[in-house]
Amino acid sequence: MKKLYALLTLLLTSAAGYSQASFQIVTSDVDLFWNAFDKLKEAQSKEDSVRVLDEEYLQKASAGVKQFTPGRIRNAAYLQKVINRHPQYYTQLKGHTHKLQEAVPKMQAHYGRLKELYPDTNIPRVYFVVGAMNSAGTIADDPVIGVDMFGLYPNTPTEELGNWHKAVLKPMDQIDLVVIHEFIHILQRDSKGDSTLLGMSIGEGAADFVATLAANGHINKVAHAYGDKHEQALWEEFRAGMHQGDVSNWLYNGENMKERPADLGYYMGYKICEAYYNKATDKKQAVRDILRIQDYAAFLEKSGYAQKFN
C-alpha cells in the first residue's frame, strides 16, 4: 500500500480569496497501525496479538493516539478484541485509507471558509489514527479523527457489523465533515460548560450547524432525516427534559437505540442554532454568538425556536 504522508503542512489558500492560514495533518499513526496489523498474521496467540498492538502501535504512536486512547482505543487488549470481531472490516479498510489524501482539498476549502466566518479560527494540527470502531473524532489538546469509522463502501462486508455501525459508518470521502466538526468544537472552548441536555445538545448541534455554513454539510444526516419528519414531537419530548442532566435518550447512545436513530440531540441543537442564525441580522456576529454561548436557556429564548410550535 502506498504510504501516507507522515506530516502534511497545508497552505490553505483558495481561488475564492480565503485568508491565508495553515495547519498540519499528522497521519503517521495510520501507517504504524497497518504495520502492526500486518504483523498480527504471525501472532501465535491472543497474548501475542495484544503485545504486537501495544509494542508496534500504541507505544510508538504520536500524541494523537495518546489523546484517543482513554474511552476509545482504551488499551491493546480492547483493540485486539475489536479487530478480532471485525477482521474483514479492518482488512478492507486498509485498502481505503490512502483516500485520506484525496480529502485534503476539501479540508482546505472548509478551513478557509471557517476562517471567513470566524476570523479567530486557529487550529495548529489534526491527527488521524486508527481506533476501535467507536468514535469518529474527538478533541483533547488537538482534534483527533478515527479513520476506522470511514470504511463503509458498497463492497464492505456487513455481516460483522451491528445496526449502529451500519448507520454511522461512512466512506472516506466524508471524513472532511468530521474534521470540520471537531475544528468547531475547538473553537467552542470559550463557551461556558453546561451539562444539561439543553447545553450539551446545543454544543453538538452548533458544531454541525457551523460546519454546514463552512462545508455545506454535516455528519448526522440520518438523525436529520428522521428529525425533519418528527420535529414537533421531538421538540415536545426534548423540552420536557432539557434542563435535566440525563442525556441518554438524546446523545452518545448509538449502541442502545432501536426505535429511532441515535444522537437526536445533535438535531435539536442544530435547529436551535439555525433559528438563532436565521433570526440574526448580523450573520458574522451570530456565528460568534453560537461559538461562545454563556447562557443556553437565554440563547434558546433569543433564537425564537420554541415559539415555532406555538
Domain coordinates of the chain in residue numbers?
7-187, 192-309
pLDDT value, residue 22: 66
| Helices 231-241 and 264-279, axial angle in degrees (round to 10) | 100
pLDDT value, residue 11: 39
pLDDT value, residue 168: 85
Amino acid identity of residue 57, one-letter, is Y
193/58 Cα distance (integer angstroms): 31
Q: What stretch of H or E contains 301?
A: helix 296-303
In order along its 310 residues, the chain shows pLDDT tens digits of: 445 444 444 433 333 333 445 689 999 999 999 999 999 999 999 999 999 999 999 999 999 999 999 999 999 999 999 999 999 999 999 999 999 989 988 998 999 999 999 999 999 999 999 999 999 999 988 999 999 999 999 999 999 998 889 888 999 999 999 999 999 999 999 999 999 999 999 999 999 999 999 999 998 998 999 999 999 999 999 999 999 999 999 998 877 777 899 899 999 999 999 999 999 999 999 999 999 999 999 999 999 999 999 8
Residue 218: name the closest of 163, 274, 166, 164 by CA.
274
DSSP string, 193-238: P--SHHHHHHHHHHHHHHHHHHHS--S-HHHHHHHHHSHHHHHHHH
* CB-count exposure of residue 74 (10 Å: 0-12, 13-18, 19+): middle
